[in-house]
A and B are shown apart, each in its own frame.
Chain A
């Protein structure tokens, strides 16, 4: 009978121990559930840490719970949340400071924290001085210990990846040795959950910060684009004004001088007629220069200057150029010839612009040639190639590659020969030809050895060349 009672008691005790284990696990689960619920409600790290410390302090019946984040740069631990029991809060208030405000400096020299941060292992102590030795006066530490009944302080690293990026500091009102295995395991489970929750919160914070940066950058970009658009409008306005104020009167002057020459205002004598012709030549030059500058400005602004149309015949354009420049060549006793092609080539072109581009090249040849002349040939391979060869001053080797790509670049010999010249003509020709999907380049044996300019333009296949 007594044996049976003893056996029942043993079973009851065993059952109790198992129930105790279950109760601890149950508490842990309840705590984890509580932490999870909190994580759903908040996303900011400081807010989350504050709620976490409050929950674990209450659930585990602690005197305090604090989360401190490690700042590698300053080798310090700064608190982001500290929850303290009522009696510890009273003691700290009387002392005039809070644990949250205390930053742990020189972590690598503090044996207690060093172990958690650098060795990533937990630590515990019964001595408050080990933690706040140089930060809180001894008499205050004694008061804190007495007033809050802190017996043990536990320190757990919060590990992210390969590094501890913070610690969890727990103040117990009993000795660490009195914690049973289940309670220790329960605390460890919480640490892992807390690390994950804080990690999530920091990720969210980073994400939000980068979103804010992107938003600001986008706003800045938008503002800059608006300012650019405004600037563009101002430039357009400037170009329109220039066109109106400069080109219109010049064109009018040309018109009136034509009327003078044709006798609309009475017959002019020979001397006056010569003056008017000179006046017309100079005005024509100025109109061309203004047009060049305006076109160049349009190219610089990335505007659509060229409007390509199919079926543009090349030969009439070259004919017109030769006719217009013949007088200039004759006045310098230079030959100017066009070797006409056997086929009629058609290209996709903006007739006026391509004419201006080719005109510039031929005009340039005449301008910088003193003896001999200029020969214009049209050759055909897969493309149509216009070759303008002169017997002029040539191009220095260091300039020959840049002649179509740089403005205001004129060689010394060129400057000596022609004082007038804006330095934009060939640059503009280059831009126009590129806009026609063509190529342009120059070759020269050097100074005094003449130059050859090549222009390659794609043939308009839709309107094929015809035999004359």
Chain B
């Protein structure tokens, strides 16, 4: 599984720990992101970074600034592996 598919899953599962199953429902509303909770599969239709940014924004819109920090912390180890230009802007440390 590549890093881009791991990122949404890691974010959704972390949000689920805090807010429960609603985290999956909100993720399904993100345009371009298709997820299957039963088998943990993720697919993108469009730019992966934009879709991930939208997912982070979706949670922030609903749950506030704290949720944005949770998203960033959840994927710290994954984005460490990525080249800076590949990292979705919402997940950069200064974002």
Contacts and interface: CB of A to CB of B under 8 A. Distances in A.
A20, A22, A149: residue with the most chain B Cβ atoms closer than 10 Å: A20
Nearest to A13: B64
A176 to B, nearest CB: 12
B82 to A, nearest CB: 10
Given A12-B63, A13-B64, A17-B66, A149 B77 contact: yes
B18 A23 contact: yes
Given A16-B18, A23-B18, A173 B76 contact: yes
A174 interface: yes
B90 interface: no
Interface in B38-95: 62-67, 69-70, 72-73, 76-77, 80-81, 93
B77 A26 contact: no
Interface string A16-38: 11011011001100000000000
A149 B64 CA distance: 29
A269 B77 CA distance: 125
B1 to A, nearest CB: 14
B29 interface: no
Contacts of B80: 149, 173
A87 B77 CA distance: 11
A456 B69 CA distance: 100
B19, B65, B66: residue with the most chain A Cβ atoms closer than 10 Å: B66
A87 B82 CA distance: 13
B78 to A, nearest CB: 9
B93 A23 contact: no
Chain B, interface residues (CB within 8 Å), range: 10 to 19
Contacts of B93: 175, 178
A98 B76 CA distance: 24
A87 B80 CA distance: 11
Given A19-B18, A20-B70, A174 B64 contact: no
Contacts of A85: 77
Contacts of A16: 18-19, 63-64, 66-67
Contacts of A180: 69
Contact of B81 (A26, A149, A178): A149
Contacts of B63: 12-13, 16
B5 to A, nearest CB: 18
A335 interface: no
B18 A20 contact: yes
A301 to B, nearest CB: 78
Nearest to A149: B80
B64 A173 contact: no
Nearest to B61: A9
Nearest to A26: B17
B77 to A, nearest CB: 5
B76 A61 contact: yes
A174 B17 CA distance: 21
Nearest to B14: A23
Contacts of A20: 18, 66, 70
A173 B18 contact: no
A19 B20 CA distance: 10
B66 A61 contact: no
Contacts of A9: 64
A174 B76 contact: yes
Contacts of A12: 62-64
A56 to B, nearest CB: 15
A17, A26, A87: residue with the most chain B Cβ atoms closer than 10 Å: A17
Interface of A: 9, 12-13, 16-17, 19-20, 22-23, 26-27, 61, 63, 85, 87, 149, 173-175, 178, 180
5 contacts: A12-B64, A85-B77, A174-B73, A178-B69, A178-B72
Nearest 7 Cβ contacts at the A-B interface: A13-B64, A149-B80, A16-B63, A174-B76, A23-B18, A19-B18, A173-B77
